[in-house]
């Protein structure tokens, strides 16, 4: 684990639940809703909804180049959001923060722009077997275009990255190391600074998928040595449709723009075009204006709660879940013990369909995720086709975890 939580004041989720209207409802014949699908997407506090509503009602206009008041206000709020993100991840410059539609587009931008310019036949791209498809498929596509080779390093029996396997596969041909800061299936925290240092010794560029880390624990791109880093607003209390690509300034400046169109240019003639300066050259078209403002409000909210407190709270909930679920016969929890993970608990039950289990759990008011979680290579590596995933956040309570396990104990006899 790469963040210390000792000495942090305990987080009381009940102090924040009132900010989330969606959680205060009953479903399926008066069953209180328990939302444990936070790794897929989180809910929105009133503060984020209010910030977006205020923009639509009072300041909405397209950003940049407009000289009327509404455009200037929207532009100001939009660029203030960029600075908020810069500070949130400890980037050196606001220009190193690019707004995208999400993690997927961010990683595709690196693969298309930096990758097409720098990768050639015989080069190697090294990924962990835990990666989300959005940090696998763009590199496979790059390999198809260039003749490069994609390799994977494994995990240990207890769900931690196999750093010996990583060191064995890392060599002078490795040009990219793509790595998740937290596994979206196992919940494993990865030692990004250590992985980055070794990658840089080999001359490789490090691309970090931080979609599951940024919402849950402090993120420092400088301390990590990340060359690129991607994450999404909708996994951190913000709206969907907005995400971030961080890139070291010298890398971004050397890269050609990925998408062409309005806003990303300095000059266009009938003979060609000149791209704009950072960050404009990577933000073609009308950006997600209101969503970006909502993301800034989400950052303010998370700063107010405290990311260290959130991480500590999630670990407490994961520990409760581990302790109680371990008592259920035939149930196997995937991944490491709670001290090495965030608030993600994925599991399988012998002889029980993950989909059937999820349906019956939902009928008792508990929302979990089922399937391969966009990590099919990991599931194949573990020799399972699907798993169930409960994922916690700052508004979840210990009582909800106990209720979830009680539900499992009630329904499993019917499924066996």
Q: End-to-end distance of the chain based on CA atoms, in angstroms?
A: 37
Q: Provide the 3-class DSSP secondary structure of residue 318.
A: helix
Would you state the structure tokens that stand for residue 87, as one six-digit string?
Answer: 């500070």
Catalytic residue from among 55, 342, 374, 388 = 374
Q: How far apart are CA 368 and CA 34, in angstroms?
A: 9
| Residue found by looking up tokens 């971004």 in the block | 252
Strand order of the β-sheet with 228-232 is: 97-100, 243-247, 228-232, 205-209, 174-180, 124-128, 149-153
355-361-362-363 Cα dihedral, nearest 10 degrees: 120
Which stretches of 239-288 are DSSP H helices? 249-254
392 in helix, strand or coil? coil
> How distant is the alpha carbon of residue 40 from its chain centre?
9
Handedness of CA 141, 154, 119, 193 (dihedral sign): positive
Strands 174-180 and 124-128 come out as parallel
Sign of CA dihedral 303, 307, 312, 314: positive
User: Between β-strands 331-334 and 344-349, what pairing exists: parallel, antiparallel or unpaired?
Assistant: antiparallel
| Residue (of 214, 219, 207, 161) closest to 188 by Cα position | 161
DSSP H or E segment with residue 305: helix 289-305
**263 φ, ψ (degrees, to nearest 5):** 80, -25
In three-state secondary structure terms, 26 is: strand
388 is catalytic: no
Number of other CB atoms surrounding residue 375 within 10 Å: 25
* H or E segment and range at residue 149: strand 149-153
* Residues with catalytic function: 374
């Amino acid at each position: 684990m790469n963040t210390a939580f000792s000495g942090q004041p305990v987080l009381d989720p009940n102090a924040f639940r009132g900010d989330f209207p969606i959680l205060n409802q009953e479903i399926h014949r008066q069953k209180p809703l328990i939302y444990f699908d936070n790794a897929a997407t989180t809910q929105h506090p009133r503060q984020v909804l209010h910030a977006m509503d205020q923009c639509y009602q009072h300041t909405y206009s397209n950003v940049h180049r407009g000289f009327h008041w509404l455009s200037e206000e929207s532009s100001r709020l939009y660029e203030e959001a960029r600075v908020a993100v810069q500070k949130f991840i400890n980037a050196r410059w606001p220009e190193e923060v690019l707004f995208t539609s999400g993690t997927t587009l961010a990683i595709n931008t690196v693969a298309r722009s930096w990758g097409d310019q720098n990768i050639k036949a015989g080069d190697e791209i090294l990924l962990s077997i835990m990666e989300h498809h959005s940090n696998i498929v763009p590199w496979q596509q790059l390999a198809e275009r260039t003749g490069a080779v994609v390799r994977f390093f494994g995990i240990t029996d207890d769900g931690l990255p196999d750093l010996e396997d990583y060191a064995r596969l890392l060599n002078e041909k490795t040009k990219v190391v793509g790595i998740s800061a937290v596994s979206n299936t196992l919940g494993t925290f990865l030692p990004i600074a250590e992985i980055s240092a070794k990658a840089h010794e080999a001359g490789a560029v490090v691309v970090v998928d931080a979609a599951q880390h940024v919402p849950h624990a402090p993120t420092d791109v400088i301390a990590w040595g990340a060359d690129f880093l991607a994450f999404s607003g909708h996994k951190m209390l913000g709206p969907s449709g907005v995400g971030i690509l961080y890139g070291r300034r010298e890398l971004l400046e050397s890269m050609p723009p990925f998408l062409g169109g309005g806003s990303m240019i300095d000059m266009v003639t009938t003979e060609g075009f000149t791209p704009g300066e950072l960050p404009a050259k990577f933000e073609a078209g009308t950006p997600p204006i209101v969503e970006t403002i909502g993301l800034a409000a989400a950052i303010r909210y998370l700063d107010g709660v405290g990311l260290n407190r959130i991480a500590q709270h999630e670990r407490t909930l994961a520990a409760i879940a581990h302790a109680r679920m371990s008592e259920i016969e035939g149930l196997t929890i995937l991944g490491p013990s709670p001290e090495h993970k965030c608030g993600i608990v994925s599991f399988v039950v012998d002889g029980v369909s993950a989909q059937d289990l999820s349906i019956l759990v939902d009928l008792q008011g508990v929302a979990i995720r089922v399937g391969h979680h966009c990590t099919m290579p990991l599931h194949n590596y573990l020799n399972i086709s699907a798993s169930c995933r409960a994922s916690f956040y700052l508004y979840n309570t210990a009582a909800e975890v106990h209720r979830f396990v009680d539900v499992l104990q009630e329904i499993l006899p019917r499924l066996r």
